[in-house]
Amino acid sequence: MREDYIETGYKPKLDELVCEYYMEPADGVSFEKACNHMAGESSIDTWSDISTLSPERAQELKPHVFFIDKERGTVKVAYKQDLFEIDSVPQILSAIAGNIMSMKLVKNLRLEDIEFPKDVLNSFRGPKYGLDGLRDLFGVYDRPLIGTIVKPKVGLSSEKHADVAYKSFVGGCDVVKDDENLTNQKFNAFDKRAEITLDAKEKAEKETEERKMYLCNITAPTCEEMLRRAEVINDLGGKYVMIDIITAGWTALQSLREATEDMDLAIHAHRCMHSVMTRNPRHGVNMVALAKLTRLIGHDQLHIGTVVGKMHGDKDEVLSLRDECVLDYIPTNDQLHILEQDWGNIKPMMPVASGGLEPGMVPDLYNMFGKDVIMQFGAGIHAHPMGTEAGATACRQSVEAALENFTLEEYASNHKELQSALEKWG
């Protein structure tokens, strides 16, 4: 194993990929030794000395550990671009977050962030629609979008599923989506659900004179079936698909984005299972890095958390994810382990706040996120005392109150759906 990867005076070149890690060496292992082995294992080295790579080539390809803060456990590494298949997220992750996570020399290791150079950015499509394109698709520019998930997650027939979607749409939802574990079950087969729920969407559009979107979950056992399902939605006139990004895998996500370039489909990224990698603050992968990869590949919207709902994620983390979705330029934030990123021509994504929301939380959501967000309610709509349609209406009324600077209590005084929601949830 080489011992010359640490070079704290090194300045990363513009075409290098930079990673920030949190590291805790194993007991009895020096920080420097752990850094050297991490840099080597993620690139050109192995656990024992080998002679199969010439010293000259090794010198050309070796990464540089250019920043170490032992007190905070922070390590920054600059990787040569030639180490990567630059348009392949699976290969990039296999290097920078692969075997290094299993090394005995480290007790804990967490990939905090990735800074992509221009050549890597230019090798990806980025979102087809992005935030502004989705605004055009809905024809809504001046408020947050309101969404719901058909509940329960699984168990409804296709007909009942479509009926719940219809009531949500006519009540005021812009978006209705499947939940993460509804795909192609016997009681609610994909093709039938897609057809009749899109019919319900069209009916609601005619009645409300608003654009509505149904996000059907195309997550599937194979890439071929996933793409077939995308084609079904496209052929039926749908404008959106949903994919479970972690369980489907990065190859599937890149395949889907390539296929949708020739369709009219926007992509909704559901992040279920991300906490397996992201929840431990000392080991795994920061959700910020996964959000950046999702934007790089080219999905149009991503779940980021809520702060006020049921899902794990503090305010700093959620707002960092919001920024990675919507900003064109991200400055360095050493405190939050955020690396600088100029997104160039890669379009912004629409952030989605989802998880345990009800109408009374809208003012806090609006104060945190502003108008560029999809506020997505599940039981906060379907558990409304007056039913699903009224639940959707209550959420829409909450947004109207926030936009018009009324308190919810003031607005509820002549809006019975909101009043009923406040009585139930406080």
Rounded (10°) angle between helices 89-96 and 287-297: 160
Question: Which residues contact residue 28 at a Cβ distance below 8 angstroms, ignoring those fewer than 6 apart?
Answer: none
Question: Which residues contact residue 222 at a Cβ distance below 8 angstroms, ignoring those fewer than 6 apart?
Answer: none
Whether residue 310 lies in the annotated active site: no
Whether residue 270 lies in the annotated active site: yes
**Catalytic residue (one of 76, 270, 382, 384):** 270
Burial of 275 (0-12, 13-18, 19+ CB in 10 A): middle
Residues making up the chain, counted from first to last: 426
Residue where the block lists tokens 């000392």: 282
Residue 79 contacts residue 16 (beta carbons within 8 Å): yes
Question: Which residues contact residue 6 at a Cβ distance below 8 angstroms, ignoring those fewer than 6 apart?
Answer: 32, 35, 36, 39, 65, 68
Rounded (10°) angle between helices 250-260 and 287-297: 30
- What does DSSP say about strands 284-285 and 301-303: parallel, antiparallel, or unpaired? unpaired
**Catalytic residue (one of 151, 161, 239, 384):** 151
Q: What is the CA radius of gyration of the chain?
A: 23
Residue 93 contacts residue 284 (beta carbons within 8 Å): no
Question: Which residues contact residue 34 at a Cβ distance below 8 angstroms, ignoring those fewer than 6 apart?
Answer: 23, 25, 26, 103, 105, 106
Kindly list the catalytic residues: 151, 270
